[in-house]
Every structure is written in structure tokens, then in C-alpha cells.
Amino acid sequence: MKYNEISHFSHPQHILNFDYTEVPFKCDGCKEVGIGSHYRCSFCDFDLHMHCALPSSSISHPFYPKCSFQFVSRPPGDTPRYCNACKKDVTGFVYHCESCGFDLHPCCAKLPIVLDDGEVKLYLYRKVSSPCHQCGRKGRSWSYRSGCKRYNLHVACVREMLVENWHELYFGDGGKSRNRIPSLKNTLETSHKRSKGKVKKCCKMAALALQFVISAVLGDPTALIAGVIATFMSRA
């Protein structure tokens, strides 16, 4: 549910207003990058992902059927913790299972099980046997996999691409950041240049559907982040 404005315990001095941006921001709740729909205090330059602004007090997840995750505003204990979905550090808001010790960033916890762009579907898996097209490794983190089973991308790799290109995305860098995702798209198309029919079509569309993976990891899975995606994809 979307509200035009909310009050939030993490920023009690001002009301937060619903906002939409195609410029990346750092969420002041989970401390991760975000884009698209969010809540913002323009007076304080304070931003929250939708999932951080309107969290559930507790959640379950199909990948961990025996766990009950509770929303907490900071990681429990003094030991550094990491998200079991993306393998990145947890430094802010988190869903934590006390009995198992598992942790999920709010946006990772709410990643859609299926991403559908109308032509191709990408399915979220806890583990896949095939290597990631970005890093070449297996089983590193949760992955999105295309219906043709030829395209895999770690959630962790998407997050790393975003973090590595943070300043380029935000400030612009003369086009350097444009080389990241297009190279992934070209890798897919080159690896299947001799393929015909459904496999080639599936992998090409899966590369284009990467925009949905990016927006999901950034906390706005329904958004088509036209500006950022165009920058990545237009030179492919």
C-alpha cells in the first residue's frame, strides 16, 4: 500500500513524503542503494526504500520454511553480519531469524520469486548449478534464472555492479558506466550466436529483462527505471 506521506521512527523530526526518482539514492534505513519509489525528507536529504519505510513486523520466506524473520532497526549483536540473499554486509534495517541466525536485507527479503516482462520470465532460486554470467561462479548467492535455463545472474553480482558504479550512475562519468551491463548482454548473445529458435530468443530477452532484476534489487520491482537502464543498454 502506498501513502502520500508517513511518519517513521527512524526520522521522527519530519514527515516523509512519497517520491519517485531515476537517480540512485542511499537508503538511510538499510544503508543500501535504491532507486524509483521511496519515501523522502527533502529538508534532511533522508531517504527510505518502500520496504524499509513500510516494513512488516515479521515475515516468512519460502527459501527458509522453518524460519521466522523479525524486522529490527540494526543488526543484532557485535559480530559483523551478512545478508543470506546477496552475501553483502548488513549495517542497518534487517529481517533477522533469531533461531537460525539468518539475515535478509529488507529489499532482498521482498525480491519477487518471478520477474515477468511480458515476454520472458526470470525465476528466483536459492541456488543454481550453472555459473553466473557476470562472475562465472556457482552458488554464491540467490540467483535469477531465465526460463530457458541458460541465463543466470547472482543477486550479489547485481548489487556489486550497482555499488561499483554508484558515483558513475549518480554524477555521470562520460559514459564509463555504460560498459557494464551491455557487455553482459553481448556475452549472452555471442555465446548463443549460432543458436536458433527459442534458446537464442530467450537469452536475448533475458538480457533485456535485466532491468527488472536491477529494479527489484534496488527496492522497486514494478518500476522501469528508464533513465538508468537506457544509459546501460543504449550502447549495447
Task: State yes or no: pLDDT of 231 exceeds 60.
Answer: no
Which DSSP category does 32 fall into? -
pLDDT band at 205 (very low <50, low <70, confident <90, very high): low
Nine-digit cell at 159? Answer: 548489487
The residue with greater pLDDT, 128 or 228, is 128
Which of 95, 30, 27 minimizes the C-alpha distance to 56?
A: 95
In degrees to the nearest 10, what's the CA dihedral of 35, 230, 184, 236? -170
Q: Rounded distance, CA 138 to CA 21, Å?
A: 34
151, 202, 217 from 220: Cα distances, Å: 22, 24, 8
Any idea what the Cα angle at residue 144 is, between residues 138 and 146, rounded to 5°? 105
pTM, two decimal places: 0.78
Task: State yes or no: pLDDT of 60 exceeds 50.
Answer: yes
The residue with greater pLDDT, 168 or 128, is 128
Task: State yes or no: pLDDT of 193 exceeds 80.
Answer: no
Task: State yes or no: pLDDT of 22 exceeds 80.
Answer: no
In degrees to the nearest 10, what's the CA dihedral of 236, 36, 44, 107? -100
Task: State yes or no: pLDDT of 52 exceeds 70.
Answer: yes
Average pLDDT, the chain: 78
Q: Which helix (H) or strand (E) holds 94?
A: strand 94-96
Any idea what the Cα angle at residue 187 is, between residues 184 and 188, rounded to 5°? 90
The answer to whether the CB of 68 falls within 8 A of the CB of 45 is: no
Q: Rounded distance, CA 126 to CA 65, Å?
A: 12
